[in-house]
Amino acid sequence: MRILTVCLVLMIPGCLLAQSYSALLIPDSLKKEARAVVREDEYILEIKSPSKAITREHHVYTILNENGDHLGGIISRYDKFTSINSISFTLYDMMGKELKHVKKKDMEDKSYTSEGTLMDDARYKEYDFYYKIYPYTVAYDEEDEYNGILYFETWKPLLNSGISTQHSKYVIIAPKDYEVRYKPVNCDLKPVITASGDKKIYTWEVNNLKARVTESAGPRWKEIAPHVLMAPSDFEAQGYKGNMSSWENFGKFINQLRQGRDVLPEDVKKKVHELTDPLKDPREKVYALYNYLQKNTHYISVQLGIGGWQPFPADYVAAKRYGDCKALSNYMIALLKEAGISGNYVVIYGGRDEPSLVDDFPSLQGNHIISCVPLGKDTIWLECTSQDVSPGFMGSFTGDRKAILIDDAGGHIVKTPCYSSADNTRSRVVNASINTEGNLDAEVSTTYRGVREEMPHELIYGASDEEREKYLNSLFHLPTYKVEKSHYDEERGPMPLIKEYLHVLSPNYANITGKRLFINPNLFDRSSYRLSPDSVRHYDFVDDRAFRDVDSITINIPAGYQPEAVPQDTHIESKFGKFTASVKVMPDKILYYRIWEESMTRFPPSDYDGLVKFYEQLYKADHSRIVLVKKE
Amino acid sequence: MTVQRTLTLALCLLAGAFLRAQDKPPARFGKISPADFNVKAPAYDTAADAVVIADVASSEFVGNVKGWFTLEFKHFKRIKILNKKGFDAATIEIPIYGTNSYGQRVDGLKAYTYNLENGKVVESKLDDKSIFIDKVSKYFMKKKFTFPALKEGSIIEYTYTLQSDFFDYLRPWAFQGIYPCMYSEYDVSLPNFFQYVTLSQGFLPFRRSNPTSRNTTFRLSIPGGADRDENVSFEDEVVETKYTMKDIPSFKEERYTTTIDNYVSKIEFQLSRYAFPQSVPKDKMGNWYSISLALMKDEDFGGDLGNSNGWMDDEMKNIVKGAASPLEQAKKIYAYIRDNFTCTGHGHLYTSNPIKTTFKNKNGNEADLNLLLVAMLKHDHLNADPVILSTRSNGFTHEVYPLLSRFNYVIASVNIDSTSYYLDASEPWEGFGHLPEYCYNGHARIISAENPMPVYLDADLLLERSTTTVFMSNEPGKGVLNGRLTSLKGYIESSDIREKVRDKGEKEFFKGVQAAFPSEWAISGTSIDSLKLTDDPVTVSYDVQLKSDGEDLLYFNPMLSEGYKENPFKAAERIYPVEMPYGFDETYVLNMEIPTGYVVDEIPKSTKVTFNDNEGFFEYLIAKDDNGIQFRSRIQLKKANFKPEDYATLRDFFAFIVKKQSEQIVFKKKK
């Protein structure tokens, strides 16, 4: 008996731990700053033909703490083009002992349709071990089959911030004559290419990459992480054939998807002429049609099959009066065409934090469609999913970025308008008074322009009256207050402008202690941004907002007080921005003036200490008080 | 307490006015004329983006081919879209539960958009291709569509019938929704053989028609398998009752509300008895005894609790090793589950797996974990029972009616030396005997075959107590003002701090503390005690120092950064009761030496205000002598729930606190 027990003990490490998934084997260098470690990452893409491919994946992750838990579960998407042949998912404990094993049939099957989408026919399989004894390891294997190809997965040897990699490999097996396209980004990782019969095999491989960690206000992960973009050359999906080797060809493929989908019903054609024939200026015609689009359609997202890239036809939009970004842009272009104006379909990344387009690697990029009308030197940009945005204005959702403009010849890289600090302005004039109880009564008139206009724009168009009131009454950092009255006016155009009027009452705004009155003259706009002084900075500091704020505040004060302490004026003009705050105490009033201007800049890590100081100076200036004391 | 109020209200309403005969829907499906477009935002809801013209439904039972009854829910709704912000009202989702063989089906879905063009009504029909079925999960799908040809001013309407095999779930009806409604009607036809209890709630009264009765023949076909199906028919009396409400404003979300669902005007039904002709009536709703008994036998609840569960014998020995008393034993078992298991989801009344599987997988929903906890406690002969409750966001439960559908959460109770401890092992921060604040929602129920007693987990009984002490001294070489702050936090705030520290680290946590100070103050020597001792609250302490150039005047707020800077009650008005998560008692004490070289020029005045007699108070006491200043601020609110009428007082109370806590001591340099 005794001998048998010993045997067993010896055998367990020998057989069960053969795959060496034990977390104890991870080198310390890979655990530094890591929440998880990619032990093995293998992705094999076998291209059978321009429309068919098989992928085989093998991943082993060791999760070191709670923040790595998302790797302890899987989500696998499938749709009309992709089917999952098999999945297996295994959980191991710290020593590498298998605890649980599940297959495809054990997983939950869920709809991909998200909030805000009417229908999406994609689905996903989901499973999570919900394990929490750290470290633990999961291994997952999947085989997928593609019937229809539009893109290839990117190789990411480093998965994300705070995840190190022990071994990662990406293999493409392609027919000998198939052109495999790839582009290394933030690295120069190259494949080893071998031939095997009528196949060519491309293998990328790396070992032992330490974890990197993103920083707040730093570059996006994609800008610092090594990765290799992959893309098809010839491809085919749902009967549509294309070639991705140039933007020209990409554009031709998109044109193919739109072919014959710009036919308008007769009544709409009539309406187009009714609206535009009396107008001479093509710009006015564009505005008139855009206004018609905004009045008569709204955004509804339906994604079926290749519909992720193919717009619903113009007559569908005319009848239903709704569509997604593709359908509405396509419809807008059809309206323009009827009026004899040539409009273009534009593929873009929409969103404030979206990645930028990689313009030297033609591939399926972008997540949004807009349209534009080139008029000589000028171009009118049109966001067709919004019923309220000004024609020509791109804002923070689509402004200042590269995009792919599609015309008859194919695709071309273009850039959308960029707004500077001279465009994005907010100027505020406040007439206020403080009475002997310290109560504040303020009339606030503010003009917002450019990107600064987006917030009040949302208050006009996006929020119900009730939501607006709630928002306004929790916006300011005043002790207790009420916005008694609010009013908004918008001037539309390529550089839209909103005038806001608020009447604000704040009891006990100024603090009275005995004979003294404490007043912060900066009523509504105190900078709360502070950087931690003891952080070690590795990456650039990205200031991605350009704006200019000007405040002129007059506060009438009760009679009989004289200044005891008045904050010194602050005036900074540095590469980090321009800032001025000045205060003047007169016998009956306080005059306060503040200007803050920033432009979009990237600062190297060595500038970090300077930035800390800059924001600290602003914070101090914005929070300083005037002390008034009663005349004896 | 709150539960009782709702119940009383419900009874009042039921006894309320019978409906007059002329109450009938202002619209019928498919009947529309240009005059119908005159609808505008109603006077009682002038800011509306859409208005429901009619929301009319009925429920009745019909015999089916499965040998039982199908519930037919017919629904018709007409909405006028007033502006673009109301377009959201035009996307409809009809949830469908169950499977093909036993579940719900939608029939006869029809929808139209009407637009007034040149004085004429133009209709656009929803085509079948634009109706989508989104299979969300195995037992749940949604029928979804959006209305075509939508414009500002469009009228939209739809109708469908939902056939449901879930005969014991008679659809509830909410009169009030996110848009104002001009007319809402629910017509319920109940056969004598299914007897229901009706429950109602809400701030607005509805009307109930004089019930009318008719004799109806029910035809059932009982599947015979290989044999022929058997057809059965019988006659029974059916009583039809119509519930209506007119001119209903939309409901509005407010801060410090457990859930708006508690205050929306609605009626619900609960099957209470079977009374088939020629048979003995059978109780279906039961009472707390019968419900408890059934739950304890249910394999998805207490089925495993009565067993000896011998499979855990060995593990249990390890888990409770070294426990010297039953209390220690219970604490070890509790900590074992809390620290080694992952909760996959909260808000479940039933288990997802047998407890043995949960034990092996080391994960499960909160019912899995807490019922396993009960089983483990029982295994070691401790007096433990499950307790069911409804979390705050899930609405109140009834103490009188044992309506299980109202409950969504299971915790454990253990009684040791005649003290009851309530335990939730699903939250990693909760110490022994502490529950998450969302469990404090009034009535909860011990599930035990012998003694299913009510338990009252009332937020009014939860008192969050914190004490902060600060000593400021004249230590030479440390600047003009310096000292140390020590803050013993309340239990709930301690849980928050534990979570923050785990997510971001202690360093980040103190960065937040530093950021609350003006920039001329620096903190150092930071520490947090009892982070891992989840049974105890945490103590946060740090040194503070004023960076000063020796100004002639020093302005010093004795609250440091601990005072209220903004009023937590932002909105000026209130409709619904205020339901805060707990009452609190915050004490702040400061003792300071007068900075060397300075004299006190001015100090704030002491004051004390009480809130609603003895429900709370705020005191601000300050005194000085030659050497130093003694200061104390204390805020106490003894309860968490307040009536809407108390809101203004509550807001004023906090406005006063904010004002007083911002006052300054002024020191002047000795000349």
Q: For the residues of A416-443, what is the DSSP string, one character each?
A: -----TTTSEEEEEEEEEE-TT--EEEE
Strands A36-49 and A163-175: parallel
Mean pLDDT, to the nearest integer, of A258-271? Answer: 96
Residue A580 pLDDT: 97
Residue of B659, B660, B665, B667 for testing the chain A interface, max A β-carbons within 10 Å = B659
Contact flag A619-B519 (C-beta cutoff 8 Å): yes
The amino acid that residue A476 corresponds to is F
Q: Give the mean model confidence (pLDDT) for residues B145-164.
A: 97
Question: Is the model's pLDDT at A4 over the cut of 70?
Answer: no
The nearest alpha carbon in chain B to A323 belongs to: B148
Average pLDDT over residues A494-518: 93
Is the pLDDT at B36 greater than 80? The verdict is yes
Residue B567, chain A, CB below 8 Å: the answer is: yes
- Of A570, A566, A567, the C-alpha closest to A581 is A570
pLDDT band at A19; cut points 50, 70, 90: low
Which of A482, A511, A562 to mutate to test binding with chain B, by most B CBs within 10 Å of its CB? Answer: A511
Looking at residue A376, its pLDDT comes to 86
* Model confidence, pTM: 0.87
Q: Kindly identify which residue of chain B lies nearest to residue A479, measuring between CA atoms.
A: B566
What is the pLDDT averaged over residues A453-476? 91
Confidence of residue B224 (pLDDT cuts 50, 70, 90): confident
Q: Do A111 and B134 touch (CB under 8 A)?
A: yes
Q: What pLDDT score was predicted for residue A115?
A: 79
Distance in angstroms (rounded) separating the CA atoms of residues A345 and A327: 11
The chain A residue lying nearest B46, using CA atoms, is A465
Min Cα distance A133 → chain B (Å) is 7
The residue behind tokens 């003891």 is A534
Nearest by CB to residue B659, choosing from A100, A130, A508, is A508
Q: Indicate the helix (H) or strand (E) that contains B9.
A: helix B2-15
**Of A470, A479, A511, which is closest to B567 when you measure between CB atoms?**
A479
Give percent of chain B above pLDDT 70. 96
Chain B contacts of A532, Cβ < 8 Å?
511
- Give me the helices (H) in B178-325, please: 288-297, 313-319
A327 φ/ψ angles, rounded to the nearest 5 degrees? -65, -40
How crowded is residue B88: how many other Cβ atoms within 10 Å of its Cβ?
14
Contacts with A132 from chain B: Cβ below 8 Å: 340-342, 362-363
Interchain pair A111, B567: CB under 8 A? no
Closest partner residue to A480 among B132, B342, B658, by Cβ? B658
Residue B6, pLDDT > 50, answer: no
Q: Is the peptide bond before A135 cis (omega within 30 degrees of 0)?
A: yes
Q: Please, which pLDDT band fits residue A500 given cuts at 50, 70 and 90?
A: very high
**What's phi and psi for A600, nearest 5 deg?**
-70, 115
Q: What is the mean pLDDT of chain B?
A: 91
Nearest chain B Cα distance for residue A182, angstroms: 37
Nearest CB to B519 within list A118, A463, A620: A620
Q: Is B520 within 8 Å of A320 when comparing Cβ atoms?
A: no
Q: In the prediction, which pLDDT does A227 show? A: 97
Pick from A129, A321, A532: which is nearest to B150 by CB?
A321
Q: What is the mean pLDDT of residues A414-424?
A: 95
Measured between beta carbons, which residues in chain B are less than 8 angstroms from residue A327? none
A314 to each of A303, A372, A373, A384, how far by Cα in Å?
16, 17, 18, 13
Test B666 with A319 for CB contact under 8 angstroms.
Answer: no
Task: Say whether B566 and A477 touch across the interface (CB within 8 A).
Answer: yes
Q: Cβ A479–B49 below 8 Å, yes or no?
A: no
The average pLDDT across B357-373 equals: 95
> When comparing pLDDT for A466 and A51, which is higher?
A51
Inspect the interface and report whether the beta carbons of A298 and B363 lie closer than 8 Å: no
Candidates B85, B553, B570; nearest CB to A464: B85
Contacts of B350 (CB under 8 A, 6+ apart): B298, B300, B301, B367
Among B586, B604, B526, B590, residue whose Cα is nearest residue B559: B590
Structure tokens at A628: 């008034």
Closest chain A CA to residue B604? A513
Distance of alpha carbon A161 from alpha carbon A167, whole angstroms: 17
Residues 347-376 of B with CB under 8 A from A: 361-363
In this complex, do B150 and A322 lie within 8 Å of one another by their Cβ atoms? yes
Is B606 at the interface with chain A, CB within 8 A?
no
Q: Which residues partner with A262 through β-bridges? A: none
Average the pLDDT over A400-411 and give the result: 95
Amino acid identity, residue B390?
S
Which pLDDT score is estimated for A307?
A: 66
Q: Does residue B23 have a pLDDT over 80?
A: no
Alpha carbon A253 to its chain's center: 26
CB-based contact, B139 to chain A, within 8 Å:
no
pLDDT in tens, B283-322: 888 899 999 999 999 999 999 998 889 999 999 999 999 9
Rounded to an integer, the average pLDDT of A409-434 is 96
Q: What is the least distance, in Å, from the CA of A198 to any CA of chain B?
A: 43
* pLDDT at B13 (0 to 100): 38
What sign does the CA torsion over B388, B390, B396, B401 have? negative
pLDDT level of residue A586 (50, 70, 90 thresholds): very high
- Is the CB of B149 less than 8 angstroms away from the CB of A466? no
Q: What share of chain B is helix, strand, coil (3-state, %, to 5)?
A: 20, 40, 40
Residue A295 has pLDDT above 60, yes or no: yes
pLDDT at B286: 84
Chain B hits for A513, Cβ within 8 Å: 602-604, 663-666
| pLDDT tens, residue by residue, B187-199 | 999 999 999 989 8
Q: What is the mean pLDDT of residues A448-463?
A: 94
Average pLDDT, chain A: 92
Residue B5 has pLDDT above 60, yes or no: no
Tell if the CB–CB gap between A478 and B87 is shorter than 8 Å: no
pLDDT reading at A294 higher than 50 = yes
Angle subtended by helix axes A325-338 and A266-276, to nearest 10: 60
CB contact under 8 A, A479 and B662: yes
Residue B22, pLDDT score = 56
User: Is residue B118 less than 8 Å (CB to CB) from chain A?
Assistant: no
**CA distance to partner chain B, nearest, from residue A590 (Å):** 20
Nearest CA in chain B to A564: B553
Q: Are A415 and A425 in contact (CB under 8 A)?
A: no
Look at residue A18 in the predicted model and tell me its pLDDT. Answer: 44
**E strands, B227-337, in order:** 230-248, 266-274, 282-283
Q: Which residues contact A84 (CB under 8 A, 6 or more apart)?
A: A76, A78, A104, A125, A142, A143, A144
Handedness of CA A460, A466, A472, A475 (dihedral sign): negative
**pLDDT score, position B573:** 85
Q: CB-based contact (8 Å) between B280 and chain A?
A: no
pLDDT band with cut points at 50, 70 and 90 for residue B571: confident
List beta partners, residue A36: A63, A163
Residues of chain B positioned with their CB less than 8 A from the CB of A133: 340, 362
Give the distance from residue B505's alpha carbon to the nearest chain A alpha carbon, in angstroms. Answer: 12
Residue B380 and residue B315 in contact, taking contact as beta carbons nearer than 8 Å = no
Rounded to a whole number of angstroms, the distance from the CA of B661 to the nearest CA of chain A is 10
Q: Testing the interface with A: which of B132, B368, B547, B657 to mutate, by most A Cβ within 10 A?
A: B132
- Percent share of chain B, pLDDT over 90: 72
Sign of dihedral through CA atoms B261, A117, B52, B44?
positive
Query: Which pLDDT value is given to residue B80?
Result: 98
CB pairs under 8 A between A and B: 141
CA distance B408 to B481: 53
Q: Do B342 and A131 touch (CB under 8 A)?
A: yes
pLDDT in tens, A330-357: 999 999 999 999 999 999 999 987 888 9
Residue A617's pLDDT is 94
Check CB contact under 8 Å for A565 and B518.
no
Euclidean distance between CA atoms B407 and B399, whole angstroms:
11
Task: Categorize the per-residue pLDDT at A29 as very low, low, confident or very high, splitting at 50, 70 and 90.
Answer: very high
Q: Which residues of B touch A619 (CB under 8 A)?
A: 519
Residue B155 has pLDDT above 90, yes or no: yes
Q: Which residue has the higher pLDDT, A510 or B18?
A: A510
